[in-house]
A and B are shown apart, each in its own frame.
Chain A
Amino acid sequence: MDAEDKLKELEKEINALKDTVVKFEKNAPENKLAMVVFSGDLDKALAAFIIATGAVAMGMEVVMFFTFWGVPLLRKKEGTSKGKDFFGKMFGAMLPKGASKAKLSKLDMGGMGTQMMKHLMKKKNVASLDDMVSLAAELEVKIYICEMSMDLMGFSRSEIIDYPDLGFSGVAKFLEEAGTSKAQMFI
């Protein structure tokens, strides 16, 4: 093999290597956190928002997907039953209207525990869930709401809070985001 052939061989190998690097780069996870918020409990939602805002502080992009009981956390305080069927009205009345109405997953004791916890949070300077939602908005945390949950519970889009970066999606959007994220969570 003369020098020219060797050079050609080498060039081929380098090109193959370049292709591999491009492939790896394409598949490398982004510095992003994808989170499912399934729970509508005050404590769990608080944890979700603390992690989400903390992640932004750590330099990560954050995408939250609200599904099932998590969806009512993003309702406006003043609900509406306009144009809803029986089940929609029932869900609308029984599920919390927004983050400020969420209850503890444990020790709620008919609402007393939640009130006590809120009092304690204020005393210890822990931000309320409402404040955390505002902070997430300010920090450009993206939110997607599960379209199927909206439909199932009979929520209309006009019932959802005004949030700067909010969209509606299905599972594929979440999986796309989760697949390109380096951290995924289900809360």
Chain B
Amino acid sequence: MGDEIKTVKSLDLTGLACPMPIVKVSKAIREVNQGEVLEALTSDSGALADFPAWARTSGNEILKTEAEGENTRFFIKKN
């Protein structure tokens, strides 16, 4: 599979409400190296706007956003 994204860390943030998803993601991104990808699964629908806003501000990149039923999976590359 050519479009498979290799991730080094996976976070399950389902059930967590604002602001916990971005608080946890911002903590976790510190633990990965530059260029590595972190994936995060969230049930917070606000995250659809919040994760891109967080990524733009913190200078990281969202490679892919996948809907999984009620949840959303983000693939975030550390820049």
Q: Do B57 and A58 touch across chains, with their CB atoms under 8 A apart? A: yes
| Contact residues of B between 5 and 42, Cβ < 8 Å to A | 15-20, 22-23, 25-27
Tell me the smallest distance from the CB of A93 to a CB of chain B, in Å.
Answer: 34
Q: Which residues of B contact A57 (CB under 8 A)?
A: 19, 22-23, 25-27, 54
Q: Do A53 and B17 touch across chains, with their CB atoms under 8 A apart? A: no
Could you count the A-B residue pairs with CB atoms below 8 Å apart for me: how many are there?
36
Q: Do A126 and B58 touch across chains, with their CB atoms under 8 A apart? A: no
Residue A95 at the chain B interface, CB threshold 8 Å = no
**Chain B, Cβ-Cβ closest to A31:** B57
Query: What separation, in Å, do the CA atoms of A135 and B22 have in the docked complex?
Result: 13
Q: Do A58 and B54 touch across chains, with their CB atoms under 8 A apart? A: yes
Query: What separation, in Å, do the CA atoms of A172 and B60 have in the docked complex?
Result: 36
Q: Which residues of B contact A139 (CB under 8 A)?
A: 23
Tell me the smallest distance from the CB of B49 to a CB of chain A, in Å.
Answer: 13
| Contact residues of B between 48 and 70, Cβ < 8 Å to A | 53-54, 57-58
Q: Which residues of A contact B20 (CB under 8 A)?
A: 127
Q: Do B23 and A53 touch across chains, with their CB atoms under 8 A apart? A: yes
Determine which of B17, B27, B53 lies in contact with A126 in the assembled complex, contact meaning CB atoms within 8 Å.
B17
Q: Which residues of A contact B25 (CB under 8 A)?
A: 57
Query: What separation, in Å, do the CA atoms of A58 and B54 have in the docked complex?
Result: 6
Query: What separation, in Å, do the CA atoms of A54 and B18 have in the docked complex?
Result: 8
Query: What separation, in Å, do the CA atoms of A59 and B23 have in the docked complex?
Result: 10
Interface positions of A (Cβ within 8 A of B)? 50, 53-54, 56-59, 124-127, 135, 139
Interface positions of B (Cβ within 8 A of A)? 15-20, 22-23, 25-27, 53-54, 57-58
Known: A54-B23, A56-B26, A139-B23. 10 other contacts (CB 8 A): A54-B22, A57-B25, A57-B27, A58-B53, A58-B54, A59-B58, A125-B17, A126-B17, A126-B18, A127-B20
| 26 residue pairs A–B, Cβ–Cβ below 8 Å | A50-B18, A53-B19, A54-B22, A54-B23, A56-B23, A57-B19, A57-B22, A57-B23, A57-B25, A57-B26, A57-B54, A58-B22, A58-B26, A58-B53, A58-B57, A58-B58, A59-B26, A59-B57, A59-B58, A124-B17, A125-B16, A125-B17, A126-B18, A127-B20, A135-B23, A139-B23
